[in-house]
Amino acid sequence: MFIFIITEALKKYLDLELTSSDKLYMTIKIEIMYSQEELDCKISLSIKEVIFITIVEVSQKYDITEDTLRYYERIGLIPPVSRNSSGIRDYTDEDCNWVHFMKCMRGAGLSMVQYFRHYQVI
């Protein structure tokens, strides 16, 4: 609840008009220092626009079938992809980097066992 109140206050302070479809990540760091004499509160805010793309777009971009992407996610070859309120996967740049990495590993001829060995080392 506290984070919600802070977020709402910051949105009003920054005059942000966010809708549920906006693709923003907010990072809020709150540092509170206090003593009997004084209370000091520092708040820093970082807002980054994030572009989400669908599984269809990722499939086309990397020439991998949608079923293969779902399979890679299901068995842990790529981390779980966030989903929107409708349950549809929303791939971020970071998710796409994992897909690209997996495609490179497969393109290098590494088996799943070799991939997991490499992944555990990183």
For domain 55-121, give the fold: Multidrug-efflux Transporter Regulator; Chain: A; Domain 2 (1.10.1660)
Query: What's 36's DSSP letter?
Result: S
Tens digit of pLDDT for each residue in 23-68?
555 555 556 666 666 666 665 656 566 778 899 999 999 999 999 9
CB 42 within 8 A of CB 31: yes
Q: Is the pTM of this model over 0.75?
A: no
Give the containing element (helix H, strand E) for 81: none
Q: Give the residue, 19 or 86, on which the prediction is more confident.
A: 86
Distance CA 90, CA 77 (A): 17
Domain ranges of the chain: 2-49, 55-121
Residue 25 in contact with residue 48, Cβ under 8 Å? yes
Residue 116, pLDDT above cutoff 60:
yes
Beta bridge partners of 29: 44
Q: What is the pLDDT of residue 1?
A: 45
Strand 24-34 versus strand 39-49 pairing type: antiparallel
Task: Give the whole-angstrom CA distance, residue 58 versus residue 38.
Answer: 53
pLDDT digits (tens, 9 = 90+) for 71-114: 989 988 888 998 888 889 999 888 999 999 888 888 888 777 77
